[in-house]
Every structure is written in structure tokens, then in C-alpha cells.
Chain A
Amino acid sequence: MRQSLLTYTLSLGDNSMILGQRLGEWCGHGPILEVDMALTNISLDLFGQARSYMQYAAEVEGKDRTEDDMAFLRDAREFRNVLLVEQDNGDFAHTIVRQFFFDAYHQLFLKALCESADERLSAIAQKSLKEVNYHLRFSSEWTIRLGDGTEESHQRMQAAVEALWPYTGELCTSTALDIEMADLGIGVDVAELKAAYDQRIAEVLKEATLTIPESGWQQTGGKEGKHTEQLGFILTELQWMQRAYPGQKW
């Protein structure tokens, strides 16, 4: 049970941290200064959430390790984030679609996690939900604005939807761990979120004049540590200082 809670908590931290790391790449390079600030703000929120989860994971593990050990000293196969969040930023359309696909899930997930029997997870969920409500508003608005903007923006957004759609199925696919945690009243059986998720996506994409791809093959594996090739490169940068200078304080 302790191992399961540890893995589960880390998986939540990994989602927030990896997406935060991706968004951090935009800082100083955004299309408009206000948008640059908004992306950085979302990145900051996500890293804040990641820290809360990882601090808790370190406590659950009980081996005197820290949030930084969790973030910087695990290898790619131990990461449990969904594949969607590790996909590269691409153009701004890809970043926004990735964000919208994740935020729509994240909001539903956190609402359910607020009810967790685990007080710490419930508290983290309650705090995070307030942030994610804003994230979803931002990414939904931009999805609509760019989908229904110019011909070029529409095409770019549709291309991003096509490219990222295969990574949405994993969000609402429950693993054995999800079900174990749900049965204990701690976690969320994410399969139960699927109907609401599909509806949310359909509503916003419709308003954005974008088309949902014919449901084809969906990629999975991130939640079990089988990632796309992108994660290794993310971790190479993320973990470099801690790997190059082991055991030092910064």
C-alpha cells in the first residue's frame, strides 16, 4: 500500500513537473509579452504542484529523501507522467492544444481527487484546482480564438489536434494502480471521467471550428513508465546539475 501510494503520488507530480518544464521553454520567446507571462505563470503553478506532490512522496517513502531527489534522481523508466505532457512545444498551436487537452482532464481529475480519503492529496487537489480552473480558461479561450481566427491559425490548430489526439486516450484509461487507489478511496478511477472529458473537448473544439479526428489508435504507456523518446531529453536538461554535481546544496 505504501509503495502504491508513493508511485501514485509521484505520477501526479510527474505530470505537473514535465508539463511545467515544457512551458518553461517558452519563457522569453512567447508570441506576445502578455502570453509569455501567462505561460510562465502556468508553468509556475505546475511546478508548485509538483513540489507539493514530491514532498509528500518523499515523506511516504520514509527514506530521508527530498523533493529534489524525487525530481532529479529518478531515471526515465521511473517517471509515470502521461505521454501527452512530454510532447514537444512545437508551434504555439501545439502548445495550446496540448495544454487544453491536459487542462480539461486535469480539472476533472482534481475535482475528483478533492474527495480523496488521503488528506494530503485532497488538500493538494483543492489548492491545485483553483489554479487549473484558470489554466483551462486560458487554454480553452486560445483554442477557440486560434481555431476560429484566420485560415492559417485554423490549419495550424487542426494539425496540432491531429498530432496530439493519439495521446488523449491515455488520460482517461485506468491502470491497475488507478483502480487500486480508487478502491482504497485515495485515488480516482479515471475511466469514469471519460464521458465528461469527451464532452468538454467536443464543446470547445466545436466552438473553435475544429474537427475531432476519427478515433483511431491511442498511445499509452507513460503511466507505466514506457515513454516517448522525448522524455530522456527533457530529463537530461532537468537533471543535469544534480547529476553533474552529486550531493551538493544549491
Chain B
Amino acid sequence: MKNIAELEAQFQAKVDAEIKIEPKEWMPEKYRKTLIRQISQHAHSEVVGMLPEGNWISRAPSLRRKVALLAKIQDEAGHGLYLYSAAETLGIERDELVQQLLDGTAKYSSIFNYPSLTWADIGAIGWLVDGAAIMNQVMLTRTSYGPYARAMVRICKEESFHQRQGYEILLTLCRGSEEQKAMAQDALNRWWWPSLMMFGPRDADSPHTAQSMKWKIKRKTNDELRQQFVDVTVPQADFLGITVPDPDLKWNEETNHYEFGEINWDEFWNVVKGNGPCNRQRLEARQAAYDKGAWVREAATAFAEKRAAVAV
């Protein structure tokens, strides 16, 4: 029997050779745990992320926008499903993952702890929040774990559609009345910094990064992805004719990158710890859906058992 050190060396050799790791293969326990944490966090983010947008289904300003918003949120639910399935390939049940969300041991993206206050927020969420998510997800299409990488390929296609749709909502506002343009600017003001926070702590404060890079779960660091996002997004804001709320933002000719101001890390850690504007409401909504659905799930199980008994 091979010892752990040999197995680990073989595993790392495979990762280094860009061979995907598949569910039944040997993997270090910490690799498995890291993936469960990351994939389930991602799945929970999709599901909790339905709430701030779902807020606006009943009030969407036109039938066309309403249909697009419903379809978008339905896609997010679908992403949640693929990701829970990808996590299940690592030997954990969806039910257990949902319990971890509800009891607070699993996290979801902090961005969804901010409120969606106006219709322009639906545009901003598509443009900025999905835009930031895509930076991360495009990288993850090349992640070392096969089922996760494959789930990401499909998710990325839909997310980039959502991002264009969000941008188009804002473009319509920015080409509209003064009131509409002000609505768009206000949304950018409120969503810009939380979007930059989506990439997580600075590399120096990110304890998991080095190991995740070595295992090729991640291929770019938080700061690299954040810079890439700023570089892509600022010209898009310029095209809309609205202003990124950062007085320190400037183009650096030498580095070919934008320089930007310091993120409010105090706010970041507070929202992570549960003190964001909507942390409590989001979890309460998930808990309420879970509790109110309990009798439905029980009945479905009971019915399936009855029918199975008749079939025998």
C-alpha cells in the first residue's frame, strides 16, 4: 500500500500536468474539504442571490423586463442546482449543505447582503455583480476538479448574458430622463465598492490562496482578479456616462492598469461577520422557505414510499 506522501506526490503531479481530478480518484482530504467549502459557498450564493433580484419581479417596469428578470433568476436557481450536484460528487448531501447555510457555518457571497432599492439596482447587479462573478468563474472553468470546471463552463455562458442584460438596463436609463440617469448613478455609487469586495481580502490577508493556487483550484489571486475587473469595468462606466465613486481612480500609463482607492476593509469584515444591511433578512428568508416547505418535502417522500410499496 502506498503511503500518503506518495499519493500526494502523484496527485500533485497530475495537477501540475493539467489532468483533471475526477470524483472517484484519490485526493488529499484538505483538497476535498476546500472544494466542498468553495463549491457550496458558490451554490448558496446563487440561491441567496435570487432574493435581492426577486424583490423586483413584481415591480419590473415593463413586461419585457419582467420576463427577462424572471428568466435570469431562474438561471441562478439552475446554477445553484448544478453546483450542489458538483458538491455532492465529493461525498456530501445537498441537505447537509443547506443546513450549513442555515446554521451559519457555510457562507455565501457578501454582496447579497446589500439591498436592492431601485430598478437601477437590477441593472447594476447584472453589470457589476455578475461581471465580478464572471472574472472568477472564467478562471474556474480551468479549475483542477473536473465536475466543478464543467459546471462553470455552462454557468459562464449564462452569466455573460446576464451581464450584458444588466448593462443594457443601465444604458437605457442613462439614455433616458435626468431622473433615470440619476437612478443609474445612485446604483453605481452603492454597488461599486461592494462589487470590488466580492474578490475577497487582499492577497496578503487571504490564508487559503497559496494552497489553492498550488492545487490549481484557483489560478489567479484575489488582487489580480480585482484589478482585471476594474480595468474592464471603468471604461464601461465611461460609456454609460456615469462616474465611478472613487476619487483616487486613475489610469496608469506605465502599468497599463487603473489605480484605485482603498477598499473599506472594516465594512468588508463586518458584512462577512453578519453585520451587513440584509444579512439577517436573507437568512430569515431562506429559513422561512425551508420551514414552510418542510410539510411539502415530507409529503413528497411519503407519497413516493406509498407508490413504491404498491409497485412491489
Q: Please report A residues at the B interface, Cβ cutoff 8 Å.
A: 17, 21, 24-25, 27-37, 40-41, 43-44, 47-48, 50-51, 54, 67-68, 71-72, 91-92, 144-146, 148-150, 152-153, 156, 237-238, 240-242, 245, 248-250
A17 to B173, CA, bound (A): 25
B293 → chain A, closest Cβ, in Å? 3
B256 at the interface (CB under 8 A from A): no
Given contacts A33-B80, A40-B77, contact A24 B61 (CB under 8 A): no
Residues of A within 8 A of B78 (CB): 37
Residues of B within 8 A of A91 (CB): 292
B58-A21 in contact (CB<8A)? yes
B303-A149 in contact (CB<8A)? yes
Chain B window 265-299, contacts with chain A (Cβ cutoff 8 Å), 1 for yes, 0 for no: 00000000000000000000100110011111111
A177 to B289, CA, bound (A): 42
Query: At the interface with chain A, which of B68-76, B133-141, B202-210, B214-222?
Result: B68-76
14 contacts between A and B (CB under 8 A): A25-B58, A27-B50, A28-B47, A31-B294, A32-B296, A33-B80, A50-B63, A146-B300, A238-B59, A241-B119, A248-B179, A248-B180, A249-B176, A250-B173
B67 at the interface (CB under 8 A from A): yes
A40-B299 in contact (CB<8A)? no
A241 to B80, CA, bound (A): 30
A249-B179 in contact (CB<8A)? no
Closest residue to A25 on the B side, CB-wise? B58
A31-B297 in contact (CB<8A)? yes
Interface residues of B in 36-71 (CB under 8 A from A): 47, 50-51, 54, 57-67, 70-71
Our count of residue pairs bridging A and B at CB distance below 8 angstroms stands at 137
B306-A44 in contact (CB<8A)? no
B124 → chain A, closest Cβ, in Å? 15
Binding site of B, secondary structure by majority: helix, strand, loop or mixed? helix
- B residues contacting the other copy or chain, number (CB 8 A): 47
Chain A CB within 10 A, most for which of B47, B51, B58, B78: B58
Given contacts A68-B62, A248-B177, contact A37 B74 (CB under 8 A): yes
A43 → chain B, closest Cβ, in Å? 6
Residues of B within 8 A of A33 (CB): 47, 77, 80-81, 84
B293-A238 in contact (CB<8A)? no
B74-A41 in contact (CB<8A)? yes
Closest residue to B299 on the A side, CB-wise? A149
Closest residue to B177 on the A side, CB-wise? A248
Interface residues of B in 168-196 (CB under 8 A from A): 169, 172-173, 176-177, 179-180
A158 to B70, CA, bound (A): 31
Given contacts A37-B77, A50-B63, A150-B302, contact A156 B119 (CB under 8 A): no
Residues of A within 8 A of B59 (CB): 237-238, 240-241
Residues of A within 8 A of B179 (CB): 245, 248
A27-B295 in contact (CB<8A)? no
